[in-house]
């Protein structure tokens, strides 16, 4: 990942440049390898780079030959090799960066260029000839991006990878919507991503194809191994991360024994071959938890089985508590479930980066796509089940994607999420939701488990041990150790008095915390981001009470959980 900050149509951009560079520096943790900037007319683009592909030549902002186009990107474009081949000699590339393909795509397709990208990204592109800026974000919002305006600088529009870079200069900030593109020529946001499954009220009826699910997820993992630096996998021991780790281990071995068909470019070619993947001789996996945590035990079983070099890290309750304020600063949220799960991930990311790793694969998105949260077992119908999955996918950028992106980027680490691959989403979200229902004889995410169950395939090597493949859903904040959430609740009781809890802050308006834990987090958020416009970018998890959802987001409070409290 990287960090971008940009301002278009500033009345005095030269005078503003020192402040812009200071604001960009606030997100240097996202890109500690290099800093660059571009200034022309009334526009500035600043960039903090994390180098993963095109190490020697991919410094940003990227420009065309005559520097009339400038591009600042945070992300990875997995199909860049295919795009380069398709463009042929029509554009003269200056670097081997995967992101440079956005410039010729803009020249060819204008604001439809994001539709031709397969990856996770947030970018701003300035066209000096037209004095025009466009900005866009990937379809699901894996990569973070914010947009702001200032009443003291009318006409200007600001963009940044994190809200903290805008909070000082903007009094109007929004989370840039995923799957959209902004065009300064019209001053409008337009949704470019229009998949067949977008309308959650339209219930699909495509028959189940288990082999298609397996092959599609394998392809999604394969393309995300595009890297020129050592990479690893986050392995909690749950179904999702374990499947990703298993596939990654297989694909890494294939890549090491294969031959490149793409010259010295790193990526996946037209035939689906992975080339230029850099790794150690064996894949490394990483897990974290309190001593004796369920996830640590399960993760070790998986690592032993798939043959990764495994790194199991522990943290203490006090270390978790000590990190809370920093976690909230980096996450830019006060949502309870996000903070609970982000803290261990934040601590683990620091350990991983210290070992020289810059990129990891992670398992976010599966529960939203397959309806894997335990409360989905109370869905009254397949129609309601499907509608809820689509809504959860649409909100991922405010929840699990935000957690994965910012927890890792806090330490200059990039997380890639195969489950949110466009082709995989198109396949799985069009399956008849009757197949996904949690009912008698079918555990949550049954079809995903069944797709990778090789029991009936003679001679096939199982992807995972049976007890892992069929292990019940354990939310990350629970799996790191049940005492973690208990400790947070107990600490909130100490820090928030009954009197304070009964007296919400006036500026909170209707967004009033319903627990002392939530109150505590909101107070810490306000210390970092005191303005109302910052709080308006936050979405809190709201329980689906009509499905029996408890107020507490922990999976243990769902009656079907084997460790229900």
Only one residue has tokens 């079809």, namely 447
- Pairing assessment for the beta strands 172-175 and 274-275 based on DSSP bridges: unpaired
Q: Is 7 a catalytic residue?
A: no
449: tokens are: 């488990």
Using CB atoms within 10 A of its CB, is residue 192 exposed (0-12), middle (13-18) or buried (19+)? middle
- Residues 426 and 146: their CA atoms lie apart, in Å, by 27
For the chain, give percent helix, strand, coil, nearest 5: 40, 15, 40
Q: Which of 86, 81, 127 is nearest to 100 (CA)?
A: 81
Question: How far apart are the two ends of the chain, measured CA to CA in Å?
Answer: 39
Phi and psi, residue 176, nearest 5°? -60, 125
Q: Which of 364, 363, 351, 236 is nearest to 295 (CA)?
A: 236
Q: Which of 445, 466, 481 is nearest to 556 (CA)?
A: 481
- Residues 119 and 264: their CA atoms lie apart, in Å, by 20
236: tokens are: 């909690």
- Residues 22 and 9: their CA atoms lie apart, in Å, by 19
114: tokens are: 């994001």
- Residues 371 and 205: their CA atoms lie apart, in Å, by 16
Give the up-direction half-sphere exposure of residue 496: CA atoms within 13 A in the CB hemisphere: 24
Report CA 360 to chain centroid distance, whole Å: 11
- Residues 312 and 300: their CA atoms lie apart, in Å, by 8
- Residues 454 and 448: their CA atoms lie apart, in Å, by 12
Those residues whose C-beta lies under 8 Å from the C-beta of residue 173, and which sit 6 or more positions away, are 146, 147, 148, 163, 166, 167, 533, 534, 536, 537
Catalytic residue numbers?
2
């Amino acid at each position: 990942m990287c960090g971008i900050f940009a301002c278009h149509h500033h009345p005095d951009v030269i005078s503003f440049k020192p402040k812009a560079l200071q604001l960009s520096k606030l997100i240097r943790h996202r890109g500690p390898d290099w800093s660059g900037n571009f200034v022309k007319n009334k526009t500035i683009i600043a960039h903090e780079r994390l180098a993963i592909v095109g190490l020697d030549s991919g410094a940003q902002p990227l420009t065309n030959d005559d520097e009339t186009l400038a591009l600042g990107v945070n992300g990875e474009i997995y199909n860049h090799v295919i795009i380069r081949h398709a463009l042929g000699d029509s554009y003269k590339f200056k670097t081997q960066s995967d992101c440079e393909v956005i410039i010729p795509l803009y020249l060819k397709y204008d604001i439809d260029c994001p539709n031709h990208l397969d990856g996770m990204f947030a970018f701003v592109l300035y066209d000096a000839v037209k004095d025009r800026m466009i900005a866009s974000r990937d379809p699901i919002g894996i990569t973070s991006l914010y947009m702001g305006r200032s009443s003291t600088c009318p006409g200007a529009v600001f963009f940044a990878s994190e809200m903290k870079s805008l909070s000082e200069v903007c009094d109007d900030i929004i989370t840039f919507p995923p799957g959209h593109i902004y065009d300064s020529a019209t001053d409008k946001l337009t949704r470019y991503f229009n998949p067949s499954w977008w309308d959650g009220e339209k219930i699909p009826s495509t028959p189940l194809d288990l082999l298609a699910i397996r092959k599609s997820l394998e392809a999604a993992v394969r393309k995300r191994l595009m890297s020129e630096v050592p990479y690893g996998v986050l392995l909690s021991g749950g179904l999702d991360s374990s499947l990703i780790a298993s596939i990654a281990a297989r694909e890494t071995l294939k890549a090491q024994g294969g031959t490149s068909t793409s010259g010295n470019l790193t990526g996946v070619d037209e035939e689906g071959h992975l080339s230029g993947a850099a790794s150690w001789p064996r894949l490394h996996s990483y897990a974290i938890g309190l001593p004796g945590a369920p996830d640590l035990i399960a993760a070790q079983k998986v690592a032993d089985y798939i043959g990764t070099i495994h790194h199991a890290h522990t943290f203490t309750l006090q270390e978790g508590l000590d990190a809370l304020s920093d976690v909230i600063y980096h996450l830019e949220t006060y949502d309870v479930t996000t903070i609970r799960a982000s803290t261990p991930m934040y601590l683990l990311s620091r350990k991983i980066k210290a070992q020289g790793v810059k990129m990891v694969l992670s398992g976010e998105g599966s529960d939203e796509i397959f309806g894997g949260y335990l409360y989905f077992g109370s869905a009254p119908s397949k129609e309601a089940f499907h509608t809820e999955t689509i809504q959860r996918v649409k909100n991922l950028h405010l929840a699990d994607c935000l957690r994965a992106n910012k927890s890792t980027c806090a330490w200059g680490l990039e997380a890639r999420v195969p489950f949110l691959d466009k082709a995989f989403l198109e396949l799985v979200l069009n399956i008849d939701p009757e197949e996904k229902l949690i009912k008698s004889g079918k555990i949550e995410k049954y079809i995903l488990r069944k797709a990778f169950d090789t029991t009936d395939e003679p001679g096939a090597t199982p992807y995972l041990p049976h007890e892992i493949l069929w292990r019940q859903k354990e939310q990350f904040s629970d799996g790191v150790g049940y005492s973690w959430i208990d400790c947070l609740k107990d600490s909130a009781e100490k820090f928030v008095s009954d009197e304070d809890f009964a007296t919400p802050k006036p500026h909170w308006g209707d967004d009033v915390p319903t627990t002392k834990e939530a109150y505590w987090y909101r107070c810490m958020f306000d210390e970092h981001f005191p303005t109302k416009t910052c709080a308006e970018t936050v979405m809190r998890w709201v329980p689906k009470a009509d499905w029996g959802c408890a107020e507490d987001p922990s999976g243990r409070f769902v009656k079907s959980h084997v460790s229900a409290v």
